[in-house]
Chain A
Amino acid sequence: MTEYRSFAAVQTDLKAGSITCRQLVDHYLDRIAEQAHLNVFTQVYTDESRVQAEQVDRKLANGTAGRLAGMVIGLKDVLSHAGHGLRAGSHILDNFTAQFTGTAVERLLAEDAIVIGRQNCDEFAMGSSNENSAFGPVRNAADPTRVPGGSSGGSAVAVQAGLCLASIGSDTGGSVRQPAAFCGVVGLKPTYGRISRWGLVAYASSFDCIGPIANTLADVALLLEIMAGPDGFDSTVSTQPVGAYTQAVTAPVKPLRVAYLREGIDSEGVDPAIREATRQKLDQLRAAGHQVDAVDISLLKYLLPTYYILTTAEASSNLSRFDGVRYGYRSPDSTDLITMYKRSRTEGFGAEVRRRILLGTFVLSASYYDAYYTKAQRVRRLMQQEMERLFTQYDVLLSPTTPTTAYRLGEKTSDPLQMYLGDIFTVLANVVGYPAVSIPNGHDGSEPALPIGLQLMTPPFAEERLLTVAQSLQ
């Protein structure tokens, strides 16, 4: 069967009658089995997806099919889907079955998307390499000795390796964009509050965004258009009207004022191949008549500390509910309430999650609250102000998505700080709540060659502009 790389191609063949959804699902099921060594899916809904496919085929035949008929997707294992396991890559949710379907998934299902399975990820979406999963690491399809990025590693590889057409991930500090860059696919983090978080297992509530991963901007735009918008279950979701994202992808580009992050080119930490690929894109923009300027963000050096203080603070509280009392893992060695808490949480959570809970508890503790949490909140506000100022002069901000390409499994596991540094370019969008997308930007000179990502960022709710500009750079 054809390796479909866009939903448009699938739709054409469905219309022509040359394939059925059932055949499509069977094809993906075969692919998943062939590529099992990549460890992408934590559960494959073999029978269910076949039944679903046949239902969609019938709907297509009688003209009642939704906009996503023929779209076979996978869900990162942090998205609540009623009647299905929900594990967030963690032992602490052993045997947990979701009791409700989150808003984004609900909307996709309502448009006849077919869910083929749940995808491996870093535990509670904490990680940049997908090595922090209770289900073992995910491998990069470009080079299985390398990481896929994280935390939505399984979701990116699934698209990269053709195990489904698109994935739904989540992005708290780059968890959609960074693995998309490492795997050579498109990953979008929308504006904070653009998509309801109802049904998304929380890591850091004021940063978390659901985001689509696909091969094309058109597919990412379509998925966003369907998932976005107001929702009675989430008081933090925006009531801003949903844009015509699918049309934005084909809209012409007007002359732009493009800013690029000077650090993204000049910093010693940036791989030469990435530097070069980014430069080429800037030249391409200049050649097309756009204004292109280097900019500095004065607070950049405070970005990672701010991010890690605030996200771990929120995480330490968000993860308190996993206590062994009502559901999930409870240590069999519990002797009383305190040992039940301590042992269940120590045994149920992995090392990285425990590290972040401890860090977050520390920064919120009475003696350190003002020195860390309050100060970080202040820096976050200052950064938002700085970005607001920047975007009065520019339409879009460019940088590499990551300073390096995919590294080897185990290469950075012993040095979490080194791994955190890899998030430097992606974290900004989450700290300020802006939308950003990572698009493929060539490959480096490794053998085999590894994908490079380019990141574009626009002001809040300017996803249409983001998609239009990104499309022009492909």
Chain B
Amino acid sequence: MSLTKASIVDSICNHSGCSKTQSIDLMESILKTIKMTLESGEDVLISGFGKFCVKEKKERRGRNPQTGDDLMLGSRRVVIFKCSFLLKDKINGKG
């Protein structure tokens, strides 16, 4: 069992009394805002849940694990998630 966008949309629909179409728009709008913020290089902090951070990775020497060849990995930007301690406690049954 996994939670998907469709089940969150249903939940928005039930909790807010919005129509299904509007609930889909709301869900997409939230995701769009978060994605655009991360894209601009800004972190997104959801208190009680966690923080989505944009991290700059420097260029480094790597290896192809299959062939053992040396190669350079270019600098890049990645998203990492830091879990809130509140969420961590909930997951570990202490919440």
Asked if chains A and B come from one complex, the reply is no
